[in-house]
Amino acid sequence: MKITIRKATQDDYPAILEMIKALAVFEKAGDKVSNTVEQMIEEQAFFRCLIAENDQHQPVAIALYFFAYYTWVGKSLYLDDLYVKETYRKQGIATQLLRAVFDVAREENCHRVRWQVLNWNENALALYRKCGATIDSEWSNCDFDREGIVNFSI
């Protein structure tokens, strides 16, 4: 099977959101997704996405990323979601998407590529180790949802 990787367009947002929701279910957090296609259209300046398509031009995987600035190193690419539909896993598609993401990072003169992986996702951890990623066990995530942002006080 031939896989084609291309930049996503606004027409891809429904398929992207479908895969975001599928990833959330896989990560045991299906009820956490509040994003919508309309919100993605409004906020499209804040993210980029690569789509992997099969021979029939059907989206089978995504790599959704954005640019960030880390004070220690400067401009960086943050890979927020890398998702391959279940029936297409273990065919090298994630590796192809990672290569494409790193191509973007090189083209954009990024000093770091960063992403997160759940500590129980052994397949992903194995892939990232194989690619040479440093997997940090020291840092913890700190998050506030929209309600927490609105109600923040010390």
Query: Is there a domain that residue 133 lies in?
Result: no
* Per-residue confidence band for 139, with pLDDT thresholds at 50, 70 and 90: confident
Tokens of 25: 């279910």
Query: Is there a domain that residue 76 lies in?
Result: yes
Looking at every residue in the chain, the average pLDDT score rounds to 95
The residues that are catalytic are 128
Say which residue the tokens 């896993």 belong to. 89
Residue 29's domain comprises 4-117
The answer on pLDDT for 107 being more than 90 is yes
pTM of the model: 0.93
Query: Is there a domain that residue 125 lies in?
Result: no
Query: Is there a domain that residue 123 lies in?
Result: no
Q: Which of 96, 24, 87, 100 is nearest to 58 (CA)?
A: 87
CATH number reported for the structural domain that contains residue 65 in this entry? 3.40.630.30
- Give the other-Cβ count within 10 Å of 99's Cβ: 13
Query: Is there a domain that residue 53 lies in?
Result: yes
pLDDT for 2 equals 93
pLDDT for 74 equals 97
The answer on pLDDT for 12 being more than 90 is yes
- The number of distinct structural domains making up the chain is 1
Give yes or no for a contact between 135 and 129, defined as CB atoms under 8 angstroms apart: yes
* Cα end-to-end span (Å), the chain: 55
Q: What is the mean pLDDT of residues 68-91?
A: 96
The answer on pLDDT for 154 being more than 90 is no
